[in-house]
Amino acid sequence: MKPPYCALTPEGYPAIFFSALGALVFAMLDCPVLAVLFFVLCWFALNFFRDPERVVPDEEKIAVSPADGRVVKLERREDPISGENRLCICIFMNVFNVHVNRVPVQGTITDIKYYPGKFFNASLDKASKDNERCAYQLTDEQGQTWTFVQIAGLIARRIVCRVEKGDTLARGERFGMIRFGSRVDLYVPDGYIPTVSCGQEVLGGQTVIARRLTE
C-alpha cells in the first residue's frame, strides 16, 4: 500500500501564489504586519485547498462518504432528481475540512442539474432547497441510482464540477469541490442501510457510509 500524500487542488493555485508573493514582498519591504497577514492567508489557502490521497475500501456492497465533515442529519426526503422518497445523509463541511468531493460507489454519471440560489448557512434545512447547489445522479453497476448534491454555504460561493454526463467513475474518485464552508447530501437507494450516525466525523472516499443488505 502506498503511503498517503497531500496534493493541492488546481483551484487553489492562484490564492496560494498571490498570498505567498504578498508575504514575500511585504517581508522585503520590512512591513511585518502585512507580511504576517499574507503568510496567514497563504497558510489558510494551503490548508483549504489540500487534496490528500485516501485509502478507498475495496469490499463489496458498500458506499463511501462523498465528503469530509460531520454527519448532521439522517432522514428520508424527496430525491431532487428522481423524485423518490429516500434516505438522505447530510454531511456538513467546515472551512478546515478537505473540500474535494468523491463519488460513493462505482458507476456512470447519468444526470447533472445546477441550481443557482442563495447562501444560507449550509447546516440549515432550507439550504437544501434555497442555496446554490449542484445535483448529480450516478447509476451503479447494479442499475441503482444514487444522487449526491453539493450545497454552497455562507462563505462558499462557487461549486466546482469536474465531471460530465456519461463519465464512468470508480468508487472514491473525485468529482468536484466546494469552496469554503458547505454541505453534501447523499440520497441512498433502497436496499442500503446507513453505517454512520449523527455527529460522526467522516472522511471522503474512505469512511464507509452505507452498506447493502444481503440479498
SS3 155: coil
Query: Catalytic site residue 65?
Result: no
Beta strands in the chain (DSSP E): 6-8, 50-52, 62-64, 69-78, 85-93, 100-102, 107-115, 133-140, 145-152, 159-161, 168-169, 174-178, 182-188, 192-194, 201-202, 208-212
What does the alpha-carbon distance between residue 99 and residue 151 come to, in Å, rounded to a whole number? Answer: 12
- At residue 63, the 3 state secondary structure works out as strand
- 135 neighbors 112 (Cβ within 8 angstroms): yes
Q: Which of 65, 82, 182, 197 is catalytic?
A: 182
Q: Catalytic residue numbers?
A: 182
